[in-house]
């Protein structure tokens, strides 16, 4: 995982061609002008989803997700959210959602990050993550997630 300022994302160039494409997109696009839903950048290899939601408290039924094919770059455009992260080796597999490239897990997080405008969280395939959590009270969030085949 990588947690950093969005203004520093260029330092992560060179890890993969698809990630480089995603970084160029982030640097050259007015993210607030993107429509809700999916925007393809390089077909199914690099695309983003923009969506709105209200954060929720963590609960016993909360599931972490991990991906096999894609890495995610989570970017909050407005609002605040917490994202919990844990290595999948410490989690218990619950469900496979192959059509979503997601494997769902239960378990305790090892790290908690607060996403706010101007920051990003990159999670690699195999890293469990639980987004959409309320930092204190529920909050409305406008968010962008880049999906990058890795």
For 39-55, the pLDDT digits (tens) are: 999 999 999 999 999 99
Instruction: Kindly report the average pLDDT of the chain as a whole number.
Output: 96
State the average pLDDT over residues 122-149: 96
pLDDT score for 61: 87
State the average pLDDT over residues 64-86: 97
**Percent over 70 (pLDDT), the chain:** 100
C-alpha angle 129-52-98 in degrees, rounded to nearest 5: 45
Residue ranges making up the domain that contains 45: 2-149
| Entry pTM | 0.95
**pLDDT for 82 beyond 90:** yes
State the average pLDDT over residues 4-30: 97
CATH number reported for the structural domain that contains residue 17 in this entry:
2.60.120.370
Q: How many domains does the chain have?
A: 1
- The DSSP bridge pattern shows strands 119-123 and 46-54 to be unpaired
Question: Residue 132 and residue 73: Cα distance in Å, rounded?
Answer: 14
Instruction: Provide CB contacts within 8 A for 118, sequence distance 6+.
Output: 5, 6, 7
């Amino acid at each position: 995982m990588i947690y950093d300022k969005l203004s520093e994302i260029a330092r992560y160039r060179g890890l993969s061609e698809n990630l480089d494409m995603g970084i160029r997109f982030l640097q050259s696009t007015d993210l607030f002008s993107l429509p809700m839903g999916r925007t393809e950048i390089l077909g199914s290899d690099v695309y983003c989803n923009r969506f709105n939601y209200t954060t929720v408290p963590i609960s016993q039924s909360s599931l972490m997700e991990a991906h096999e094919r894609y890495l995610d770059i989570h970017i909050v455009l407005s609002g605040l959210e917490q994202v919990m992260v844990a290595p999948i080796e410490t989690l218990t597999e619950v469900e496979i959602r192959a059509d979503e490239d997601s494997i769902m897990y239960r378990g305790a997080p090892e790290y908690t990050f607060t996403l706010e405008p101007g920051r990003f969280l990159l999670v690699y395939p195999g890293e469990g993550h639980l987004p959409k959590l309320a930092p204190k009270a529920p909050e409305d969030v406008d968010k962008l997630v880049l999906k990058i085949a890795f």
